[in-house]
């Protein structure tokens, strides 16, 4: 087996015994309970409130959960110096990063599948738009995982890493709003704002919420552009990590 695979397997072994990982169960129950609460207490129609809440909460919960898992696991490995014993083996530093990324991506895929299954059971929306939405969510998670790895390896501090990744998430979901505001202020800014929109993480691309809630038309081709964007962003983040980690003293 390749060294990337070895790092991946033992990361999965470790995470599955981590208590934080099993915190997913109460998190899932909380998401379901909260969505039912919103259905009962919201001024909008009950079913609509449930659907909106579930879609929004599941995406947020999945992002928060996987980021906490990545940051805590990586930080623990750096702080305990366990990482020293790994990267002094005949493994390239970028292979180590890839192994970690694949492991957390598999966990993220599992979480997304569970939330998708929950959405189907609760009748949040039709299957195809839900599938498109959760595939897009998965790609958002992959970008968040790579960002969390980059930030934790760079900062090597638990609170700073959490804040850094939270900042990345907030900026990612704010770029569209910032661009919309800018476009209303001055049309001359439009080209520059579009560059800004695609240069910074545009995490709002990874959502088909409207198609799910309004049962609008959706096609499998709707995922092509966001997936291509995610692939490009992942490659750029990975390149940044590799350039940094290859020159970094531990």
Partner 1 sequence: MSITIKRLSKFYGKTQALSEINLNIQTGESVGLVGLNGAGKTTLLKTIVGLIINFDGEVLINDLPAMDRMARLSTSFLPEDFSPPLYLTGYDFVSYMLRLSGGNLNQSEVDEFADTLELQVNVLSQPIRTYSKGMRQKLGLLAAMLPDTEIIILDEPLSGLDPGARVVVKDALGTLRKKGKTLFFSSHILTDLEEIADRLVIIHEGKEIFDGKPEELRSYGGRTLEDAFLHVIRSNRTS
Residues that bind partner 1 (CB under 8 A): 1, 3, 6-7, 10, 13-15, 17-18, 76-77, 80-82, 84-92, 246-250
Residue placing its CB nearer to partner 1 in the complex, 13 or 219: 13
Please report how many Cα atoms fall inside a 13 Å half-sphere around the Cα of residue 163, on the Cβ side: 6
Residues whose CB falls within 8 Å of the CB of residue 110, separated by 6 or more in sequence, listed in order: none
Q: Supply the minimum distance, in Å, between the C-beta of residue 99 and partner 1.
A: 10
Backbone angles phi, psi at 207, to 5 degrees: -155, 135
Residue placing its CB nearer to partner 1 in the complex, 21 or 200: 21
Residue placing its CB nearer to partner 1 in the complex, 177 or 248: 248
Q: Supply the minimum distance, in Å, between the C-beta of residue 95 and partner 1.
A: 10
Q: Supply the minimum distance, in Å, between the C-beta of residue 239 and partner 1.
A: 19
Other C-beta atoms closer than 10 Å to the C-beta of 8 total 21
Residue placing its CB nearer to partner 1 in the complex, 20 or 235: 20
Packing angle of the helix pair 93-122, 127-155 (nearest 10 deg): 150
Exposure string of 98-117, with b = 16+ CB inside 10 Å and e = fewer, is bbbbbbbbebbeebbeebbe
Residue placing its CB nearer to partner 1 in the complex, 19 or 184: 19
Q: Supply the minimum distance, in Å, between the C-beta of residue 12 and partner 1.
A: 11
Q: Supply the minimum distance, in Å, between the C-beta of residue 81 and partner 1.
A: 4
Residues whose CB falls within 8 Å of the CB of residue 190, separated by 6 or more in sequence, listed in order: 183
Query: E strands of 119-164, at which residues?
Result: none
Q: Supply the minimum distance, in Å, between the C-beta of residue 180 and partner 1.
A: 44
Residue placing its CB nearer to partner 1 in the complex, 86 or 171: 86
Other C-beta atoms closer than 10 Å to the C-beta of 26 total 10
């Amino acid at each position: 087996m390749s060294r990337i695979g070895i790092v991946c397997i033992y990361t999965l072994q470790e995470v599955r015994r981590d208590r934080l990982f099993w915190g997913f169960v109460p998190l899932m129950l909380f998401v379901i309970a909260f969505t039912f609460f919103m259905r009962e207490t919201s001024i909008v129609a009950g079913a609509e409130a449930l659907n909106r809440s579930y879609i929004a909460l599941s995406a947020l919960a999945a992002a928060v959960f996987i980021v906490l898992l990545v940051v805590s696991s990586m930080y623990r490995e750096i702080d305990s110096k366990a990482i020293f014993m790994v990267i002094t083996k005949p493994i390239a530093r970028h292979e180590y990063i890839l192994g970690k990324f694949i492991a957390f991506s598999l966990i993220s895929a599992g979480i997304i599948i569970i939330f998708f299954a929950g959405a189907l059971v609760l009748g949040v929306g039709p299957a195809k738009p839900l599938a498109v939405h959760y595939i897009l969510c998965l790609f958002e998670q992959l970008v968040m995982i790579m960002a969390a790895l980059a930030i934790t390896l760079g900062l090597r501090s638990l609170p700073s890493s959490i804040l850094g990744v939270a900042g990345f998430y907030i900026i990612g979901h704010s770029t569209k709003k910032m661009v919309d505001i800018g476009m209303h202020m001055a049309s001359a800014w439009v080209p520059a704002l579009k560059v800004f929109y695609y240069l910074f993480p545009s995490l709002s691309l990874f959502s088909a919420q409207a198609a799910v809630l309004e049962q609008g038309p959706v096609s499998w081709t709707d995922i092509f552009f966001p997936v291509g964007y995610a692939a490009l962003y992942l490659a750029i983040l990975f390149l940044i990590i590799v350039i940094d980690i290859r020159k970094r003293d531990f």
